Amino acid sequence: MLRARIVRSGLACIAGMLLWSACTGGSAVTPPPVASSSASTVERLVSFHTLGGDAFAWRERVTGTTACPDVRLTRNGSPLDVPVEVSGSGFEARVPLDAGRNEIVASCPTGGGETRSEPLVWDERLRPGPRAEIDVAVRGNDVVLDGRSSQAAEPDGAKIVRYAWHRDARHPSPLTLASGRPLLGSVVGGPRLELRSPPSDGEYYASLTVTDARGRTDTSTTYFAVHGGVPKAVDMMTQHPAWIDRAVMYAPIPTLWGNGGPNAVDRRLGYLKELGVDALWLWPPAEQRATGEEYAITDYFKLDGSWGPASAFKRMVDDAHRLGMHVLLDIVPNHMSDQSPYFLDTKAHGKRSHYYDFFDRDSYGSPTHYFDWSNLPNLNYDNPEVRAMIVEAFVHWIRDYGIDGFRVDAAWGVERRRPSFWPELRRQITRVDPDILMLAEGSAVDPYYFSHGFDVAYDWTNQPGQWAWTSVFDFPTESGALLAPAVTNDPKGYAPNAIILRFINNNDTGIRFIDQYGPKLTRVAATLQFTLPGLPAMFAGDEIGASYEPYSNLTPIPWKDRYGLRPFYETLIRIHHDVASLHSHDVDVLEANADSTFAYLRPASGGPPVLVLLNFGEKQPAFSVSMTPALAGAVGGGTMRDLLTGHTVHLDVRNGSVSVPIGATSMLVLVPERS
């Protein structure tokens, strides 16, 4: 979202990351408060100052005014045994909430009776019940799964009375108990389970369902890995599930396929499967402001009408899963729309609004925002209810719709205001699904993301929103020289566990790459995208050379492959899937003799080494690269096979260099002929 917003506003410089206060001019329609006490309190001896609303905590602070020395509280008609502090004409208390609707009434005695306030209503949004937790430990050749850190239910503290262990339904890998019996169905017993280490390498999943005394349940899933026959616990904060290594992501835009919505995507799942896509990235499905701004969220828990109904959206996700695809959502936790009910409530009621502290504010009390996004006030992550709301939103999409990952919009914004939040979130969502992919809209050159809960980050420079390859293709005769520092982040490099999102188009890049640079250079750039370390991401229509701008008034387009690109993309995807050496983090940039060329070696790692040679120029150069020990091992006698065409390529290996015949604006992806 970042670049498009800035470009459309005409903001020239984004490097300063200036935090501006939201504009307050203009008029706005103010709806009724989400929930509140009555304003008619003139004749009452006791009344609330606090306004209610949606609660993302099990206790809420209430304040009010009273003419009585003794104030009592009830919840849904029952007395609350909580201390109420009366000071002068004011009172204060912290009120425990139940699941669902909580009607709080304050009263004070008057003679032989009592006077009551208007009710204060809180709607509890957190899910009641226990919380399952699993710790993994390896002891020799056994793996111990320990559920003793599972927590009793909030808010009532009902004890956990049942532990049931079972294989995860999505990953039915064989598991054997320490007794030698296979884990079939559920094992009901204590909070610990001992397993024998499986004989085969891989990832092994198990789930724990806990039940409390009131019959409420919660399930947590974990996994451990076996490498070289040795079991290992997985660091959920910094390690990623294996499926990400070979994934190819695709961002569909339903409107381009017809009437939009989940049915438009559902109808094209077979098409995407044939293309080779195995992960979908969907634009934000949460409810948005009526103007249709995808990143102006009004409710994190409601499905926007453009993606509804919920049954169709869930069917689309389920159908994608049946085809072996993962489904990622765009989620927008940095800010909300200024037309959201929460923000409008603050405009109507000021500091009385429960949501006043949901939004970040400057020293003058004005909402803050980044750049010129005055319609997108930042959330206040110092407020624990905001943090709980966002965690609950992530979990909602995982549990209720089966979502497999998230592209986190403006993750850099939350990092700057509350850097400790992302690890907190990661712990909560991997407890529910350890296979989740977390993609930060933030720069992969910043190691923060990869130690604070993210698997993938953008191929940006250290300036937010600036594509690392932004000027590379504008100067084809110098593209190779410009690429070297962009690919390696020299001299700092990347975090050892960094996965870089590789793209040539996305929602923020404006005019499509092919319209700027043409089909020949598109093929070279796409080869780079799919053979460098990282997660390649295609945007709607890349495979047919589609022409549009993402934030324009989109309409259905002719779905015709005007440049014959689809077979080329199918080949690139197949290469990325099948060649294990492309799944590692290793790349050796080689010294080439012409600035219009670029060469790199993907060292052998579970597969053959891969030599990639690119010519961005319109001339056929005398292309040669300097020899290195790793390159010498890869080229051998000089006979290699081009994975793009299947043709044999003969290299001239002598005098400390490797010379390669390569055409104008073309590419070679070479492996040893013997492989």
Q: Is the pLDDT of residue 131 over 80?
A: yes
pLDDT of residue 622: 84
* Whole-number Cα distances in Å, 564 to 6, 568, 570, 667: 34, 8, 11, 17
Q: Name the percent of the chain lying above pLDDT 90.
A: 82
Which has the higher per-residue pLDDT, 22 or 456? Answer: 456
pLDDT of residue 557: 86
pLDDT of residue 43: 57
Q: Cβ–Cβ contacts within 10 Å for residue 400, how many?
A: 12
Given CA atoms 429, 430, 435, 440 in this order, what sign does their dihedral have?
positive
Closest CA to 503 of 464, 468, 472, 455: 468
Q: Is the pLDDT of residue 8 over 70?
A: no
Of the given ranges (36-50, 144-158, 649-663), which has the lowest mean pLDDT? 36-50
Q: In this structure, are residues 567 and 609 in contact, taking their beta carbons and an 8 Å threshold?
A: no
Name the pLDDT band for 168 (thresholds 50, 70, 90): confident
Q: Is the pLDDT of residue 29 over 60?
A: no
Task: Provide the CA 135 distance to its chain's centre, in angstroms.
Answer: 24
Which has the higher per-residue pLDDT, 15 or 255? Answer: 255
pLDDT of residue 33: 43
Of the given ranges (2-16, 89-103, 122-136, 382-396), which has the lowest mean pLDDT? 2-16
Which has the higher per-residue pLDDT, 577 or 554? Answer: 577
Mean pLDDT of 425-447: 98
Q: What domains does the chain contain, in order, with CATH numbers?
A: 46-124 (2.60.40.10), 129-242 (2.60.40.10), 247-334+379-578 (3.20.20.80), 588-672 (2.60.40.1180)
Of the given ranges (82-86, 273-277, 462-466), which has the lowest mean pLDDT? 462-466
Q: Is the pLDDT of residue 367 over 50?
A: yes
User: How many helices (H) and strands (E) would you count in the chain?
Assistant: 13, 42
Mean pLDDT of 363-376: 97
Q: Is the pLDDT of residue 71 over 50?
A: yes
Mean pLDDT of 411-440: 98
Name the pLDDT band for 323 (thresholds 50, 70, 90): very high
Instruction: For residues 348 and 353, give the distance between their C-alpha atoms in angstroms, rounded to a whole number.
Output: 8
| Residue range 96-115, pLDDT digits in tens | 999 999 999 999 988 778 99
Q: Which contacts (CB < 8 Å, 24+ apart) does range 3-12 have?
A: 3/465, 3/466, 3/508, 3/509, 3/510, 4/507, 4/508, 4/510, 4/550, 4/551, 5/295, 5/371, 5/372, 5/373, 6/371, 6/372, 6/465, 7/510, 8/551, 9/371, 9/372, 11/371, 11/372
Q: Is the pLDDT of residue 607 over 60?
A: yes
Mean pLDDT of 455-484: 93
Mean pLDDT of 390-406: 98
Which has the higher per-residue pLDDT, 318 or 261? Answer: 318
Label residue 348 exposed, middle or buried (CB < 10 Å: 0-12, 13-18, 19+): middle
Name the pLDDT band for 260 (thresholds 50, 70, 90): confident
pLDDT of residue 113: 86
Of the given ranges (252-256, 406-410, 532-536), which has the lowest mean pLDDT? 252-256
Mean pLDDT of 6-29: 37
Which has the higher per-residue pLDDT, 111 or 240? Answer: 240
* Tokens coding 18: 């200036």
pLDDT of residue 18: 41
pLDDT of residue 94: 98
Give, rounded to a whole angstrom, the gap between the first and last alpha carbons of the chain: 43
For tokens 């909070």, name the residue: 191
Instruction: For residues 175 and 182, give the distance between their C-alpha atoms in angstroms, rounded to a whole number.
Output: 6
| Residue range 191-204, pLDDT digits in tens | 999 999 999 999 99
Q: Is the pLDDT of residue 14 over 70?
A: no
Q: Are strands 405-408 and 437-443 parallel, antiparallel or unpaired?
A: parallel
DSSP 70: -
Of the given ranges (29-33, 107-111, 476-480, 647-651), which has the lowest mean pLDDT? 29-33
Average model confidence (pLDDT) across the chain: 92
pLDDT of residue 550: 87
Q: Torsion-angle region of residue 228: left (phi > 0), alpha (psi -120 to 50) or beta? A: left
Mean pLDDT of 70-84: 97
pLDDT of residue 10: 35
Mean pLDDT of 424-440: 98
Of the given ranges (245-254, 452-461, 549-558), which has the lowest mean pLDDT? 549-558
Q: In this structure, are residues 164 and 188 in contact, taking their beta carbons and an 8 Å threshold?
A: yes
Q: In this structure, are residues 545 and 519 in contact, taking their beta carbons and an 8 Å threshold?
A: yes
pLDDT of residue 110: 85
Instruction: For residues 585 and 497, give the distance between their C-alpha atoms in angstroms, rounded to a whole number.
Output: 8
Mean pLDDT of 290-302: 87
Q: Is the pLDDT of residue 600 over 70?
A: yes
Mean pLDDT of 594-619: 96
pLDDT of residue 340: 98
For tokens 């072996």, name the residue: 324
Q: Is the pLDDT of residue 34 over 70?
A: no
E strands, 56-139, are 59-66, 72-75, 78-79, 85-87, 90-96, 100-110, 113-116, 120-124, 129-131, 135-139
Q: Cβ–Cβ contacts within 10 Å for residue 606, how many?
A: 10
- Hey, what's the torsion of the CAs at 418, 423, 429, 432, to 10 degrees? -150
Q: Name the percent of the chain lying above pLDDT 70.
A: 93
* Whole-number Cα distances in Å, 160 to 127, 218, 427, 632, 656: 16, 10, 21, 62, 70
pLDDT of residue 9: 38
Mean pLDDT of 632-650: 96
Which has the higher per-residue pLDDT, 537 or 260? Answer: 537
Of the given ranges (1-5, 38-42, 536-540), which has the lowest mean pLDDT? 38-42
pLDDT of residue 20: 44
Please spell the DSSP secondary structure of 243-293, one letter per residue.
GGGG--EEE--GGGGSS-HHHHHHHTHHHHHHHT--EEEEPP-EEE-TT--
* Amino acid identity at 83: P
